[in-house]
Amino acid sequence: MENKKFDEIKKSLEEDLKDVEDLKVLDDLRIKYLGKKGLITELNSEIKNVPNEEKKEFGMKVNELKDQFNTFYDSVKERLDQAALNERLEKEAIDISLPSTKVPVGAPHILEKVIEEVEEVFLSMGYDVVDGPEIEEDKYNFEMLNIPKGHPARDAQDTFYIEGEEILLRSQTSPVQVRTMLKGEGKVPIRMICPGKTYRRDDDDASHSHQFMQIEGLLVDKNISLSDLKGTMDVLFKRLFGKDVETRFRPSYYQFTEPSVEVDITCVNCHGKGCNVCKHTGWVTVVGAGVVHPNVLRMSGYDPDVWSGFAFGFGAERLAMMKYDINDIRTFYNADLREAKVFDREDEE
Ligand code: DAH
């Protein structure tokens, strides 16, 4: 009787397991045979009615059936799972030949580009590019640059004070000269430039901005003179604007340099012939500079009888305006992407 049942189940099993192509059907079969009331499960529970000497064989046969089912189940499940996965992958596949949506590409700000060019020139001459704080102490912004409290030279730089008279937004990058010398602790040579934001209480217009970019430079060594400064300025402007650009010095006055000069270059707009940009002089003033004042050296720990140096400072906007033929300084700060794009394209041509 039992053998008959075995054969029946085996037969139905073989019948059922043919051509299963659906996970749901497969699962129903699992319940039919191995569920709580499944055919194999029930057969197994009949073991209690089997005479003792047949129990072992009976058990083995039930297990055979179970194994047969499980082996089948596993292989079909794997095949169907794989097929389902393939189908999903196919459905979700991306057609890489389709044109994509255009993602706008960023570009460096033109001011940043000019600053980088200046940095490259000075790096190639062995200078370091250094940083200094924008929130500065009066001591570094003025006093140690030989501009004591109450000195009229302070008025020219209408300063944003933050706390009393001691803490301010730097009105120039020159305080970084002082900081660099103090850090240098008397060691030479010092060769540094410092590009950075500066602030003045100016009303914004085409040529003024309350915040602008200055690039400061300082060199300290032995026997440094104005002619070293002249050579350095020549290299800078020829590299920036072309070999035919000349530089000239005009006497000037700064508290922290003696002598002081203004550096002019031949107008890059008219190549020195005279135009509106250079007010028909053929020259434009681009840099303030000079030989570092002995007081400044002394206050920062450099003996002026032994060491000497030159320093300079200029506005990066000025150079960028000349380079890109911009006539309004606000162009740099109004964040108008259309303008940025125009300049970016021009640069690529
Ligand atoms: N700090 C000056 C200014 O803002 C520019 C300048 C002039 C810097 C002469 C210097 C210098 O280092 O030697 O107008």
- Residue 319 is predicted with a pLDDT of 94
Statement: residue 132 has pLDDT above 90: yes
Q: Closest Cα partner for 218 from 289, 284, 157, 269? A: 289
Q: Closest Cα partner for 177 from 230, 214, 232, 228? A: 214
Q: What is the 3-state secondary structure (H, E, C) of 233-267?
A: HHHHHHHHHCCCCCEEEEEEEECCEEEEEEEEEEC
Ligand 1 atom closest to Cα of 310?
Answer: 13
For residues 94 and 98, give the distance between their C-alpha atoms in angstroms, rounded to a whole number. Answer: 9
Q: Closest Cα partner for 217 from 238, 201, 233? A: 233
Evaluate whether 41 touches 35 at the Cβ level (below 8 Å): yes
- Residue 17 is predicted with a pLDDT of 82
- Ligand 1 site residues (CB inside 6 A) read 172, 174, 216, 254, 256-257, 288-290, 311-313
Name the burial class of residue 289, with classes exposed (0-12), middle (13-18) and buried (19+) by CB atoms within 10 angstroms of its CB.
buried
Name the burial class of residue 219, with classes exposed (0-12), middle (13-18) and buried (19+) by CB atoms within 10 angstroms of its CB.
buried
Kind of pairing between the strands at 135-137 and 211-221: unpaired
- Distance from CA of residue 104 to its chain's centroid? 17
Statement: residue 106 has pLDDT above 80: no
Evaluate whether 162 touches 135 at the Cβ level (below 8 Å): yes
Name the pLDDT band for 157 (thresholds 50, 70, 90): confident
* Core vs surface per residue 315-343: b (16+ CB within 10 A) or e: bbbbbbbbbbebeebebbeeeeeeebeeb
Name the pLDDT band for 169 (thresholds 50, 70, 90): very high
Q: How far is the CA of 195 from the centre of ligand 1 (A)?
A: 13
pTM metric for this prediction: 0.71
- Residue 277 is predicted with a pLDDT of 86
| Of 2-6, 8-12, 287-291, minimum mean pLDDT range | 2-6
Statement: residue 196 has pLDDT above 60: yes
- Residue 318 is predicted with a pLDDT of 93
Topology of domain 110-348, CATH: BirA Bifunctional Protein; domain 2 (3.30.930)
- Residue 104 is predicted with a pLDDT of 78
- Residue 223 is predicted with a pLDDT of 96
Statement: residue 308 has pLDDT above 80: yes
Q: How far is the CA of 233 from the centre of ligand 1 (A)?
A: 14
- Residue 342 is predicted with a pLDDT of 67
pLDDT digits (tens, 9 = 90+) for 199-256: 999 999 998 999 999 999 999 999 999 999 999 999 999 999 999 999 999 999 999 9
For residues 13 and 286, give the distance between their C-alpha atoms in angstroms, rounded to a whole number. Answer: 96
Nearest CA to ligand 1 atom 6: 313
Per-residue pLDDT, averaged over 68-77, amounts to 90
For residues 283 and 325, give the distance between their C-alpha atoms in angstroms, rounded to a whole number. Answer: 16
Amino acid at 171: S
Could you give the angle at the alpha carbon of 108 between the alpha carbons of 103 and 110, nearest 5°? Answer: 130
Ligand 1 atom closest to Cα of 173?
Answer: 1
Q: How far is the CA of 243 from the centre of ligand 1 (A)?
A: 25
Name the burial class of residue 344, with classes exposed (0-12), middle (13-18) and buried (19+) by CB atoms within 10 angstroms of its CB.
middle
- Residue 96 is predicted with a pLDDT of 82
pLDDT digits (tens, 9 = 90+) for 309-337: 999 999 999 999 999 888 899 999 987 77
Q: How many CB atoms lie within 10 A of CB 194?
A: 23
Q: How far is the CA of 288 from the centre of ligand 1 (A)?
A: 5
Whether the CA torsion 217, 221, 226, 228 is positive or negative: it is: negative
Q: How far is the CA of 109 from the centre of ligand 1 (A)?
A: 24
Q: Closest Cα partner for 171 from 180, 181, 160? A: 160
User: What average pLDDT does the structure give for the chain?
Assistant: 91
Share of the chain above pLDDT 90, in %: 64
